[in-house]
Amino acid sequence: MIIGVPKEIKDNEARVGVTPAGVKALGEASHTVLVETQAGALSGFPDAEYQHAGAEIAGDAGYVWGKSEMVVKVKEPIEPEYTYFREGLVLFTYLHLAPLPDLTNRLLETKVAGIAYETVRDRYGNLPLLMPMSEVAGRMSVQVGASYLEKERGGRGILLGGVPGVPPANVAILGGGVVGTNAARIALGFGAKTTLIDVNLNRLRELEDIFGGRLYTLASNSYNIAHVTREADLVIGGVLIPGATAPKLVTRAMVSHMKKGAVIVDVAIDQGGCVETARPTSHSNPSFTVDGVVHYCVTNMPGAVPHTSTLALTNSTFPYVLRIANLGARKALLQDAGFAEGLNTWDGKLTYRGVAESQHREWTPAASVIA
Ligand SMILES: NC(=O)c1ccc[n+]([C@@H]2O[C@H](COP(=O)([O-])OP(=O)(O)OC[C@H]3O[C@@H](n4cnc5c(N)ncnc54)[C@H](O)[C@@H]3O)[C@@H](O)[C@H]2O)c1
């Protein structure tokens, strides 16, 4: 198969869909990889590395899209890329179609097979191609929080781990899923006094087994949240109710009772945020202050560490890329019901219920179109 890897053109997107390691593995399986020039440069993979791994470097995005049977990307295509869609093309990337009716229409009109990273499920029902970005954001949240706690950045001038004779900072983590668990790992590593709150008691039991007595766990209710936020130097928001807007667990009143110079990193901001005073920010202007509390609410945190994020993402996506290349999309999807859940568009039909429901349109189950 000929596989194309275009350079991402969405604002501030530095990740790339396939690394040189992936190019080498595809070559070993007798596939051809076309990489647009500079596609991996911002992730730390120069053209020369791709070439060395066996890729053909192309100067023009149109050439990469036009020649390829499958295009592997990171972000959903944006308008200038729509012109490259054509029947027979397999597109494997984050698609996030629900709020994007125009992109959905174009994929359907052109009969592209659109397989979305965010809806692929593994055998346990998890979303394995979303998880790596939550791992990155969870770990990053503590690093970012530590930096904003420095005086120069508006924080109260406290070192997370303290030093001998000086107590460590208090870190409060809301949500003990992928983001929360990774945040807890790093906060404990820094030596901070770390408390994690979740509504799922079984998850708290698991976390206590993982971290032992070093992690304080608390059941989620407004009394406990008010208490820990008042004491906290750093609050990390990582709650998720799948498919819904995040619950506002930290109210404006709770923020007003927090210490001046404390920091909130609301990772859940991409789902609306779990802090009432949070609003989405970007890497170019990441923080703002409310009632003396610094808020960091960047919606695509992994974008700040594209090298790690590209490696984390492609570690998870690449086995699927190789399967599509080896078997063809239809057979690869037929063999794995969880992977078939990734199929959003096929031969002009919308095949993902969630997207259809949010756009109030018809859908056809993936299993029936690929059978
Ligand atoms: N900003 C970014 O760059 C970025 C990057 C990755 C993920 N995220 C977001 O971070 C959020 C968390 O993602 P995740 O992968 O950790 O999700 P997850 O499903 O693994 O974990 C969510 C946790 O929240 C808990 N929860 C739900 N309701 C709660 C409540 N009322 N009180 C306390 N806990 C509650 C759940 O029990 C679960 O353990 C999501 O919104 C995700 O989209 C943001």
pLDDT in tens, the chain (371 residues): 999 999 999 888 899 999 999 999 999 999 999 999 999 999 999 999 999 999 999 999 999 999 999 999 999 999 999 999 999 999 999 998 988 999 999 999 999 999 999 999 999 999 999 999 999 999 999 999 999 999 999 999 999 999 999 999 999 999 999 999 999 999 999 999 999 999 999 999 999 999 988 999 999 999 999 999 999 999 999 998 876 678 999 999 999 999 999 999 999 998 889 999 999 999 989 999 999 999 999 989 999 999 999 999 999 999 999 999 999 999 999 999 999 999 999 999 999 999 999 899 999 999 999 98
Residue nearest to atom 33 of ligand 1 (CA): 198
* Catalytic center residues: 96, 270
Strand boundaries in 186-267, DSSP class E: 193-198, 216-219, 234-237, 263-266
Are 294 and 326 within 8 A, CB to CB? no
Are 209 and 240 within 8 A, CB to CB? no
- Cα 149 from chain centroid (whole Å): 25
Q: Is 326 exposed, middle or buried (0-12, 13-18, 19+ CB in 10 A)?
A: middle
* 199 ligand 1 Cβ < 6 A: yes
Q: Report the DSSP beta bridge partners of residue 71.
A: 4, 91
Q: Is 78 exposed, middle or buried (0-12, 13-18, 19+ CB in 10 A)?
A: middle
How large is the C-alpha radius of gyration of the chain? 22
Q: What pTM does this model have?
A: 0.91
Q: How much distance in Å is there from the Cα of 198 to the middle of ligand 1?
A: 10
* 300 ligand 1 Cβ < 6 A: yes
Q: Half-sphere exposure (CA, 13 Å, Cβ side) for 301?
A: 26
Are 172 and 234 within 8 A, CB to CB? yes
Instruction: Give the mutation target among 139, 223, 267, 300 for probing the ligand 1 site: most ligand atoms within 8 A of CB.
Output: 267
pLDDT in the model for residue 245: 79
Instruction: For residues 83 and 80, give the distance between their C-alpha atoms in angstroms, rounded to a whole number.
Output: 6
Are 236 and 180 within 8 A, CB to CB? yes
Q: Report the DSSP beta bridge partners of residue 116.
A: 93
Q: How much distance in Å is there from the Cα of 26 to the middle of ligand 1?
A: 34
| Alpha helices per DSSP H over 271-328 | 306-327
pLDDT in the model for residue 361: 94
* 239 ligand 1 Cβ < 6 A: yes
* 248 ligand 1 Cβ < 6 A: no
Measured at the CA of 48, the angle between CA 43 and CA 53, to 5 degrees, comes to 90
Q: How much distance in Å is there from the Cα of 174 to the middle of ligand 1?
A: 8
Q: Ligand 1, closest atom to CA 301?
A: 3
Are 14 and 303 within 8 A, CB to CB? yes
Helix (H, G, I), strand (E, B) or coil at 25: helix
Instruction: Residue 341: name the closest of 321, 316, 366, 369 by CA.
Output: 366
Q: Ligand 1, closest atom to CA 179?
A: 16
* 200 ligand 1 Cβ < 6 A: yes
Q: Ligand 1, closest atom to CA 134?
A: 6
Q: Which two tokens stand for residue 120?
A: 């692929």
CB atoms within 10 A of CB 361: 13
Percentage helix, strand, coil for the chain under 3-state DSSP, each rounded to 5: 40, 20, 40
Measured at the CA of 147, the angle between CA 144 and CA 150, to 5 degrees, comes to 150
Q: How much distance in Å is there from the Cα of 272 to the middle of ligand 1?
A: 11
Q: How much distance in Å is there from the Cα of 239 to the middle of ligand 1?
A: 3
Instruction: For residues 41 and 20, give the distance between their C-alpha atoms in angstroms, rounded to a whole number.
Output: 11
CA distances in angstroms from 250 to 140, 146, 233, 240, 246, listed in the order given: 21, 20, 14, 14, 11
* 276 ligand 1 Cβ < 6 A: no
Q: Is 139 exposed, middle or buried (0-12, 13-18, 19+ CB in 10 A)?
A: buried
Q: Is 334 exposed, middle or buried (0-12, 13-18, 19+ CB in 10 A)?
A: middle
Instruction: For residues 286 and 280, give the distance between their C-alpha atoms in angstroms, rounded to a whole number.
Output: 9
pLDDT in the model for residue 243: 64
Instruction: For residues 242 and 279, give the distance between their C-alpha atoms in angstroms, rounded to a whole number.
Output: 20
Q: Report the DSSP beta bridge partners of residue 5.
A: 35
The count of residues in the chain is 371
Residue nearest to atom 30 of ligand 1 (CA): 199
pLDDT in the model for residue 246: 87
Instruction: Give the mutation target among 94, 196, 240, 287 for probing the ligand 1 site: most ligand atoms within 8 A of CB.
Output: 240
Residue nearest to atom 21 of ligand 1 (CA): 177
